[in-house]
Structure 1
Amino acid sequence: MIRFLCVLLLLTQSILSFSQEKIKKDSLILGSVRLKDSNYRIKQNKADSVKYFTTDTVLNNVPDPLQHLDNVGFRFIVRELGMNYSQKKHQTDSVQDAVNSLLHYVKNDSIRNMVYYLKEYIETRKTEEALRKLKKQIELEKILSYQPDLPKIEELENDNAWKYHALEELYTYVEKDPVHQWIREISRDSVLLGVKNYLNDSMQFWINNGKQDFKRFWLKKNRRDSIGIWVQNTKDRSVRILVDDDVYQESVQKSKVRGSSGKIKRELPSDQYKLATLGKYKRYSQKWKLGATIGISFNQGHVSDSWSGGGESSIAAISTINAFANYKKGNHTWDNSLKIKYGLLKSGDNGFRKNDDRVELNTKYGQKAVKKWYYSAQFNLKTQMLQGYTYPKTGSRILKSNFFAPAYIIASIGMDYKPNKNFSLLLSPLSAKYTIVRDTAKIDQTAFGVDKDKKVKKEVGSYVNLSHKMKFWDGMELLNKVTLYSNYTEEPKNVDIDWELILTMPINQYLSTKFSTHLISDDDTGSKLQFKENLSVGVSYRF
């Protein structure tokens, strides 16, 4: 009995193995379990299953709809994604639509469906848009998957990781699929269009869905009659033609006149090849150069009463006007400049006091002598506009100066060396200097070297005037002005020095910072050196 059972078991096993060999690979076998309502469970292997419904109870091989996919693992991914991203009522998701569009492409293997798919792809390009959306989602999943500070949840982590790898596999398959690449290439196909004019000149360009390119072309009726047009390739595969603006066209019609014909003999005049008479040429150049700069600068500082280091609050303002009018014609030059400067200062409880007051007029005429040397004559005037006071510690203020009290006038004749417009050196062996104090009743003229019974002091001596301007980067300028005067009649070794240095540093077109120093040494006003320094930030406008 036992031997009979063993033989029966071996026969059964061989029959089953023989029957399984006849079944095609990757086909679906209907299970033997009968479900209600003719519901059958279709099994491919232990790990992959899906439900199908049929009214036929005969066991037949059902073809797999994903049979065209050679990779069994990718088939499983497609089925799982189809169930996870199935359409739900009253719910829209761009990523879900993108996944379903790509799954529709993967599952579609019919020739008819692929033809319709190709037409829809070219017209709507949904697949390309779906690939872009899916790529963004994959990059987003990469970022979200890397969160080392958050606690890890194994179930959610595994589910998100699986979806991320599945989406990446789907994107890679569609992107690298040769059929999809071929469809992408043919959708970009173009039509070559050629245009020719009357003279057989041609131009060719492509009509496609790419960029809107413009091409220039000339339409010609004959060699002397033409008009320019622009040919544009639009996005909807059409051509747009634009004619040049401001062009007037007039049609000329040819007409025949009946009558006798004859030849017209052309005779050349005797002066056909003679040179024309050269007329007078007038050269116009700018003789005068005018300009002016107006500026105002402020300086303010506040110190509270509780400040342990002590000090006083202060506010200061300085306004300047620099104007010039220069003339040049041939070997003659005439340079004129006017400089006006006035400033006020308020410190502590004191009222506003003058801290700068200056008016300077300078005019210089030159005639070229040789190369860069000019015969020159110069007139220079320096004075102030308003009254100036000294403020002793006790008592009331004392009037020290006023308009034309004092005033300095220097008239000189000599040679001026001007290698360029930024450098000038005037050497005058003969010059006259006048010191004027207009109001001697209120102002002590002896403080400026004028005798007690006089209002004017005359001097004769030599004079040197140096002016040099250096320009640096970004409009920075350094102006150096030095004036030297020596009196022939009284102590010629004691040279009067007037040295002014101005550094201008622009911030922008209107704001600038200025640092200036002014040093004066004059025996007529005392043996001590006079020095003044100023740093300001202000607004300036140049005409």
Structure 2
Amino acid sequence: MNKKLLFTAVLALLSVGAIAQQTVRQGMRSKEYVRENESLVRNYIDSLETVRDSLKTQRTVSAESDLRIKRLFMPLTYYNDVISGAFQLDTTNTIGKTLLHMYLRHPEWVETTEADLRKQQSNRVDVRRPIRHEVELVDRLAPVPLESEVAPIAVMIMKPNFWSYRGDYSLQIFQNYVSGNWYKGGESNYSALAALLMEANYNNKQKLKWENRLEMKYGLQSSRSDSLHSYKSTEDLLRLTSKFGLQADKKWYYTVQFIGYTQFTHSYKSNDPTLYAHFLAPLNINVSLGMDYAVDWISHKLKGNFHIAPLAYNMKYSQFRDIAKRIGISEGHFKHDFGSEFTVDLEWKFSDAVKWKTRLYGYTTFRRSELEWENTFVLTFNKYISAQLFIYPRFDDGVARDLHHAYWQFKELSSIGFQYSF
């Protein structure tokens, strides 16, 4: 800082000398003007020499002295402290005397005032007195340790739930009207079909699984041509399938399977008083021991299982003797036999709107064979409306042979209506 101010003072002296020489050389000022301002120049030079001497002797310059020195090289400004210092007996403030001399002799040289400079420097804050904070001294106290509050925490342990549930409900209602003079003939009729499927399955993801399925179907139809019955059943099924498995491999299980099925109520043919079926007439129960293979194919679209049982027990029961003879029970109400059994349960979702469910069941002994193949095609329009096509061929050589169809039986049903799944 001292070197910078010294260099600035020397430049000022040289500038003043050059200006004086140029003035004399050009003849711009008269001798009277020089004589009049001689004292002004002498005071200015004395101030610069005083600054130079102070810079040589002092290592550091205070902020107040630094501000006063800068006033010599800035545009002439009217400072309030210069006027107030004129009434003080201070012989060292040569800079103030030089500025006062300029104010008195040449007031036209004053370009601005200290008040205007303060307005321009609005962000500047001059602190005339140091800010002192009153500190209240207190005795130092030892910190009080925080005592942790122990509160009881209720810990809830949730056991894994290995049960899963699933259900399907459907209800279809049909009405068909044909006038008496319709050129193709026919008759008016009303029909309805309700179906319910519920599943409750247990799988602990380790070695054990237990699958349970309950299927219920019941359909009614009324026709004017049947003079004996106001309505007849078109579909009647009550079936329970339960399967207990112990894992042998990744997809294979040792399995015990139970299948029991009958129907809800009586069944007749048109204009025929003969009772063809009733609740527990017949009742079929099949228990088998074998292995299951889990199916998960075509990117999880085709799922299900194959059940193969080399050892199976089958029982037929009918509480009506006439029905017992018709289904192959020669004596009494029961028929027992042993054989082999297989069951295939698959569900193939072609898309979100179309799926196919199939069940293939087979049982055979040395004397008779049964084969059932149930196929249900479901076309879903939205969450609640769907159409179904049910195709059911069946083979049973344990009953009397029919003249037209031999041992084959066939049922087909198409419907559209309400459906809900969860």
Q: TM-score by structure 2 length?
A: 0.59
Q: Is the 8 A contact 1:391 1:398 kept in 2?
A: no
Displacement of 1:462 after TM fit? 0.5
Residue 524, structure 1, aligned to residue 395, structure 2: no
Letter in structure 2 aligned against 1:529: W
Residue 435, structure 1, aligned to residue 309, structure 2: no
Aligned to 1:505: 379
Q: 1:293 aligns with which of 168, 179, 182?
A: 168
- Structure 1 257/438 Cα, relative in aligned 2: closer, same or farther at 3 Å? farther
Identity of aligned residues (%): 27
Aligned to 1:381: 260
How many residue pairs get aligned? The number is 264
SS of residue paired to 1:445:
helix
Letter in structure 1 aligned against 2:411: K
Residue 361, structure 1, aligned to residue 240, structure 2: yes
- Structure 1 257/415 Cα, relative in aligned 2: closer, same or farther at 3 Å? farther
Q: 1:472 aligns with which of 347, 350, 353?
A: 350
Q: Is the 8 A contact 2:281 2:323 kept in 1?
A: no
SS of residue paired to 1:286:
coil
Aligned to 1:347: 223
Q: 2:292 aligns with which of 413, 416, 419?
A: 416
Displacement of 1:257 after TM fit? 7.9
- Structure 1 257/522 Cα, relative in aligned 2: closer, same or farther at 3 Å? farther
SS of residue paired to 2:248:
strand
Letter in structure 1 aligned against 2:364: S
Alpha-carbon separation, structure 2, partners of 1:509 and 1:370:
38
Displacement of 1:259 after TM fit? 3.0
Aligned to 2:333: 455
Alpha-carbon separation, structure 2, partners of 1:378 and 1:448:
23
Alpha-carbon separation, structure 1, partners of 2:286 and 2:294:
21
Alpha-carbon separation, structure 1, partners of 2:377 and 2:201:
23
Alpha-carbon separation, structure 2, partners of 1:282 and 1:263:
44
Deviations 1:134-154 (A, max 9, x none): xxxxxxxxxxxxxxxxxxxxx
Letter in structure 1 aligned against 2:317: I
- Structure 1 258/432 Cα, relative in aligned 2: closer, same or farther at 3 Å? farther
Alpha-carbon separation, structure 2, partners of 1:539 and 1:403:
27
- Structure 1 466/259 Cα, relative in aligned 2: closer, same or farther at 3 Å? same
Aligned to 1:397: 273
Alpha-carbon separation, structure 1, partners of 2:346 and 2:167:
19
Displacement of 1:439 after TM fit? 2.5
Alpha-carbon separation, structure 2, partners of 1:438 and 1:542:
36
SS of residue paired to 1:403:
coil
Alpha-carbon separation, structure 2, partners of 1:503 and 1:370:
32
Aligned CA-pair RMSD: 2.5
Letter in structure 1 aligned against 2:350: F
SS of residue paired to 1:473:
coil
- Structure 1 290/483 Cα, relative in aligned 2: closer, same or farther at 3 Å? same
Letter in structure 1 aligned against 2:398: D
Larger deviation: 290-299 or 499-508? 290-299
Aligned to 1:486: 364
Aligned to 1:73: none
Alpha-carbon separation, structure 2, partners of 1:285 and 1:325:
16
SS of residue paired to 1:311:
coil
Displacement of 1:431 after TM fit? 0.4
Displacement of 1:285 after TM fit? 3.1
Displacement of 1:399 after TM fit? 1.3
Q: Is the 8 A contact 2:282 2:323 kept in 1?
A: no
Q: 1:308 aligns with which of 158, 163, 183?
A: 183
Q: Which runs of 5+ in 2 are unaligned?
A: 1-134, 144-155, 402-406
Letter in structure 2 aligned against 1:437: S
Letter in structure 2 aligned against 1:402: H
- Structure 1 376/311 Cα, relative in aligned 2: closer, same or farther at 3 Å? same
- Structure 1 375/258 Cα, relative in aligned 2: closer, same or farther at 3 Å? farther
Letter in structure 2 aligned against 1:478: W
Alpha-carbon separation, structure 1, partners of 2:334 and 2:219:
28
Alpha-carbon separation, structure 1, partners of 2:414 and 2:289:
36
Q: Which runs of 5+ in 1 are unaligned?
A: 1-255, 265-280
Q: TM-score by structure 1 length?
A: 0.46
SS of residue paired to 1:444:
helix
